[in-house]
Each structure stands twice: as C-alpha cells, then as structure tokens.
C-alpha cells in the first residue's frame, strides 16, 4: 500500500507565493486521488494475476503509469518546495549547472521557457541523466507516457516494429515468447542488486 507523504510544512507555509487554498486542494484532493487510485490499480493487478485474467492488462498498466507517476511527481514537487527562506544550489550542483547550461541564469531561462511551453497539462523537470553524467531539462506531457518517474529499468524489451517485424510480422506474442529464450537474467540480476538498496 502506497501511503501519502506528509507535507514537510503547514498548508499556509508557502503564502503568498502559493496560497493555502491552492495547496489544500492540490495535496488533500488531487494528490490523494493519485495515491488512492494507484493502490486501487495495484489491487486490480493482484486480482488479475490471481485469477489469471489478463484481458484488461493494457488499461491497468496505463492506470498504473498515470496514477503512479502522478503520485510520484506530486511528492517530488511538494518536497522540493518550502517556506520562502532563501536557499541556493550547493557548490557541487552549481558547478554542474554551469557546466551543463552555461550559467545559472541560462539554466533558469531555459527552465522557465520550457515550463511555460509545456503543451497542455504537464510538468517541467530538471533531471540527472546517469547514463550521460549530465543535467537536462525535460518537459513532460500529462505525467506518465506509460512510465513511473524515478523507476530503474531492470528488463527491457523493444516493442518497436523494427525489432520484430522482419521475422515475426504481426505476431508480437511469438516474438515475446522467443525473447524469453535469449534473455540474460544475469544482467537483470545485476541491475536489480545495484538498484534495490538505493532508496533515493
Ligand atoms: Mn498537480
């Protein structure tokens, strides 16, 4: 069961920049909805596995991404706000920002523009791309794109047509069945070990 995080400050702590009424609605109604619905989806997934009825799996996976990513991004958002007491990037983070964006002002401009230009509903994020050892700014439309933010991929299967069409045509399940034979669990095991105790 996923539990709601406690806000690290009172509901009126972000006034006047973020009103108590806005935060109340955002935390107690909207965010709560994402957490509740993530739990509901997990229950439905458990039931689907138990009854071996996977007919609704596409909808359940979509819901998991939508509600789960909604919950995770709201937690990160609430947690990276606080009362208007000046704080600043650490020396290390500032060095990285300057390295990757040119200057703090350039970072701020890009982040502001990217946020303002998110198409319809979405998010703006500063992210650390471990693979590239680099900071990037990302826009996120809606909030899921069928992922869970912050998750670590353990086992990856390419479902783009180029990966199977030449050989399996439209028979995706056959391609997936074949894949199980060539999957190297040693690598998955290693990724699992590397990530499972890394809580943050
Ligand atoms: Mn929100």
Q: Which residue has better confidence, 195 or 126? A: 126
Residue 160 has a pLDDT of 79
CB burial class (10 A; 0-12, 13-18, 19+) of residue 50?
exposed
pLDDT tens-digit map of 1-60: 999 999 999 999 999 999 999 999 999 999 999 999 999 999 999 999 999 999 999 999
Q: Which contacts qualify for 150-154: CB closer than 8 Å, 24 or more apart?
A: 150/72, 150/76, 152/191, 152/195, 153/191, 154/188, 154/191, 154/192, 154/195
Nearest CA to 118 among 101, 96, 138?
Answer: 138
* 122 C-alpha to ligand 1 centroid (Å): 9
* 156 C-alpha to ligand 1 centroid (Å): 29
Q: Which CATH superfamily is domain 20-80 in?
A: Fe,Mn superoxide dismutase (SOD) domain (1.10.287.990)
> What is the dotted CATH code of the domain comprising 91-196?
3.55.40.20
* 49 C-alpha to ligand 1 centroid (Å): 31
* 25 C-alpha to ligand 1 centroid (Å): 9
Mean pLDDT of the chain: 90
Residue-range domain boundaries for the chain: 20-80, 91-196
Q: Tokens representing 23? A: 């935060």
Taking only Cα atoms into account, the Rg of the chain, rounded to an integer number of angstroms, comes to: 21
pLDDT tens-digit map of 166-181: 999 999 889 889 989 9
* 31 C-alpha to ligand 1 centroid (Å): 7
DSSP one-letter code for 17: T
Q: Tokens representing 129? A: 């791309």
pLDDT of 200 over the 70 cut: no
Residues recorded for the chain: 200
């Amino acid at each position: 069961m996923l539990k709601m995080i406690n806000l690290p400050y009172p509901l009126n702590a972000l006034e006047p920049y973020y009103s108590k009424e806005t935060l109340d609605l955002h935390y107690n109604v909207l965010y709560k909805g994402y957490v509740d619905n993530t739990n509901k989806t997990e229950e439905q997934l458990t039931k689907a596995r138990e009854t071996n009825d996977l007919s609704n799996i596409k909808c359940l996976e979509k819901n998991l991404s939508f509600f789960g990513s909604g919950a995770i991004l709201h937690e990160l958002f609430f947690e990276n706000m606080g009362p208007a007491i000046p704080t600043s990037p650490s020396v290390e983070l500032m060095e990285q920002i300057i390295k990757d964006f040119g200057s703090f002002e350039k970072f701020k401009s890009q982040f502001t523009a990217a946020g303002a230009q998110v198409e319809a509903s979405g998010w703006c994020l500063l992210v650390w791309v471990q693979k590239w050892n680099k900071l990037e700014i990302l826009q996120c439309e809606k909030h899921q794109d069928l992922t869970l933010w912050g998750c670590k991929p353990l086992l990856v299967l390419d479902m783009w047509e180029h990966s199977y069409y030449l050989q399996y045509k439209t028979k995706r399940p056959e391609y997936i069945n074949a894949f199980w034979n060539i999957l190297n669990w040693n690598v998955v095991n290693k990724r699992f070990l590397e990530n499972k105790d890394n809580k943050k």
